Amino acid sequence: MAAKIAIVCRVALAAVFAAAGAMKLRDVQGFAYDLHLFGLTPWSLSRPLAFYLPGFEILTAIALFVPGLRLGALFASLGMSVAFSAAIASAWARGLDLSCGCFGHAQGATDYPLHLAGTVTMCGVALWLLVRVRRQPKCR
């Protein structure tokens, strides 16, 4: 049963990263603007992040299904989810009224509790999968 839950979790995590990456690719400049509004990076860093992050999210989603790459993809998923959670929590704490850019450049303010719950859930799923993968015996 745990193996089936792990597959569902991996598919869900991959779907979120693939969808988020694909939607960000539709408007990289808009996503760069959204990133910059968080006030955590200078414009000179927001632009390259906006260019590379969507591709990294899509590659991470694909790697979740490649056995030799799965461990690295889970670490990447966890790292991105922690970073996204921290950025959202930071913006919320500072009272910023902005679009998070999670699924591309969008109009309207972020629903911080909802977005934070989503990113923290992604952290939990990635961590659970990571622990599960690390406990599996290695084939020789």
Domain count, the chain: 1
Q: Which of 4-8, 77-81, 117-121, 135-139 has the lowest mean pLDDT?
A: 135-139
Write down the pLDDT at residue 104: 63
Write down the pLDDT at residue 44: 94
In this structure, is residue 93 part of a structural domain? Answer: yes
3-state secondary structure the chain: CHHHHHHHHHHHHHHHHHHHHHHHHCCHHHHHHHHHHCCCCCHHHHHHHHHHHHHHHHHHHHHCCCCCCHHHHHHHHHHHHHHHHHHHHHHHHCCCCCCCCECECCCCCCCHHHHHHHHHHHHHHHHHHHHHHHHCCCCC
Q: Which residue has the higher pLDDT, 51 or 108?
A: 51
pTM: 0.88
In this structure, is residue 140 part of a structural domain? Answer: no
Write down the pLDDT at residue 110: 73
pLDDT tens per residue across span 1-49: 888 999 999 999 999 999 999 999 999 999 999 899 899 999 999 999 9
Tell me the residue range of the domain where 121 lies: 2-135
In this structure, is residue 107 part of a structural domain? Answer: yes
In this structure, is residue 13 part of a structural domain? Answer: yes
Of all residues in the chain, what percent carry a pLDDT higher than 70?
A: 91
In this structure, is residue 64 part of a structural domain? Answer: yes
